[in-house]
Amino acid sequence: MQIRENRKKNDVDSRIDYGIIFSVMMLAMIGLMSIYVATIQDSQNPLRNVVSQLAWYVIGAIGIAIIMQFDAEQLWQVANYAYFAGIALLFLVLIFYSRSYAASTGAKSWFAIGSFTFQPSEVMKPAYILMLGKVITNHNSEYQVHTIKNDFILLGKLFLWTLPVMVLLKLQNDFGTILVFVAILGGMILVSGIDWRILLTGFLIVAVIGGTALLFATTDWGREILGHFGFRSYQFARIDSWRNPSADTSENGYQIWQNMKAIGSGKLFGKGFNVSNVYVPVRESDMIFSVIGENFGFIGSCVLILLYFLLIYQMVQVTFDTKNEFYAYVSTGVIMMILFHVFENIGMSVGLLPLTGIPLPFISQGGSALLGNMIGIGLVMSMRFHHKSYMFENGTFKQR
């Protein structure tokens, strides 16, 4: 009996991806230390912020443990419910949004009950990933031979499921989150098997539209045109700060300029833990990378990026090991979600990209974003935990 129990325990242990757990735990430690440093100058009780973030980590860990119990078939069944629940939350926040947050950020994307705040778009991301994974798997099962016509049908389906999300986020005035969903959609389209000619054409169209919009944003007449499409003055100010960070270091460009000064002042090895001489406004959230750069320098920043690389590599490895089409699409969505957050946040912190309100995964303060990322990690870890290979045929999963 004891031998059987030991074998069962060893079997469970072998199905848990401790490499991913290690990477997330290391990022958590860095995040908690960075939040403490970021808030110690602005808050009378910085430990409260750390404890609050730690509590969200505990909630996220519980969420991972629960999600790991769902296999591919169960996640398939949950996908529709999760998607429509997310859509309902995105709609409700337009009615019951926090007035104070809307006044300070310009976005109607937060629920607030006392000191508790919640951003539903963060948990909508993994729900959206599940839904798109299901749509692609269903389509490829129905149309087993890829043709131009069939690929356009798939694109139509993906855009139809994406449209409600984009409309609701646009009404919330949350442009940064829209970019994340676009990145998720783009990554999942890339691995869906769509003909390369369609992908190349789509890439060129997006590049031309993006380049034209950026060109228009640099001229007065172009900004007037873009204004009719919903672009606002603060977005143009961010582009100006990106193009020339030193042009306005007192108003619109103050935050990004101070952020870059803090990172640069850390030099190669940094000033040491909790040594912050450059003031950066609200650095505990979107500007948290400045804490890493100032305290631990270029070397510390590279270690952080290496941890992200290790995490993403492990998620890719899990995808190949499980050999499950539905899981492959879900994993791609999660990887794109985390990768885009890292790329955009660090890119804007060092001046390579315009400023957007996108947090650094597992590091920035914020329970909603952390919970969304932890759910994504749970989805990937469930792949290893349920290591059976399935094939999807005639609308059902069958074990190989």
pLDDT at 3 over 80: no
Report in angstroms the alpha-carbon separations of 359 from 68, 106, 362, 397: 25, 17, 9, 37
Which residue is it, tokens 């969420």? 63
Q: 299 vs 240, which has greater pLDDT? A: 299
Each residue of 201-210: pLDDT tens digit? 988 998 898 8
In a domain, 345, yes or no: yes
Lowest mean pLDDT among 93-107, 163-177, 182-196, 336-350: 93-107
Specify the higher pLDDT residue, 140 or 386.
Answer: 140
Is residue 229 in a domain? no
Res 372: pLDDT? 94
Percent of the chain with pLDDT over 90: 52
pLDDT reading at 272 higher than 80: yes
Mean pLDDT of 94-110: 84
398 three-class SS: strand
Burial (0-12, 13-18, 19+ Cβ within 10 Å), 254: middle
**Best CA proximity match to 180, nearest among 346, 20, 333:** 333
Using the predicted structure, report yes or no on whether residue 14 has a pLDDT greater than 70.
Answer: no
Least confident of 102-111, 158-167, 339-348: 102-111
Q: Would residue 272 count as lying in a domain?
A: no
pLDDT of residue 125: 96
150-168 pLDDT, tens per residue?
Answer: 999 999 999 999 999 999 9
Mean pLDDT of the chain: 87
Identify which of 272, 275, 237 has the alpha carbon closest to the alpha carbon of residue 257: 237
Nearest to 107 by CA among 168, 30, 150: 168
35 occurs within a structural domain: yes
92 vs 145: CA distance, rounded Å = 41
Specify if 201 maps to a domain: no
The pLDDT of residue 320 is above 80 = yes
pLDDT tens for residues 169-196? 999 988 889 999 999 999 999 999 898 8
Percent of residues, the chain, with pLDDT higher than 70: 91
Model confidence at 391, in pLDDT bands (50, 70, 90)? low
Which residue in 93, 92, 110 sits closest to 101, CA to CA? 110
Residue 106's Cβ-count burial label (10 Å; 0-12, 13-18, 19+) is: middle
Does residue 205 lie within any of the structural domains?
A: no
6 pLDDT above the threshold of 60: no
pLDDT computed for residue 101 by the predictor: 80
Indicate whether 29 pLDDT > 80.
Answer: yes
- 368 contacts 118 by C-beta, under 8 angstroms: yes
The boundaries of the domain holding residue 52 are: 2-194+282-288+309-399
- Give CA angle at 124 (122, 126), nearest 5°: 90
pLDDT at 5 over 60: no
Higher confidence at residue 230 or residue 68? 68
Closest to 169 in 3D by CA, of 87, 226, 79, 84: 87
Asked if the model's pLDDT at residue 92 lies above 90, the reply is yes
**Mean pLDDT for the stretch of residues 347-353:** 87
13 lies in a domain?
yes
With beta carbons less than 8 A apart as the criterion, state whether 57 and 24 touch. no
Amino acid at 109: S
Distance CA 315, CA 328 (A): 10
Q: What's the number of domains the chain is made of?
A: 1
Whether the predicted pLDDT of 303 surpasses 90: yes
In this prediction, residues 33-39 reach a mean pLDDT of 91
**Does residue 364 belong to any structural domain of this protein?**
yes
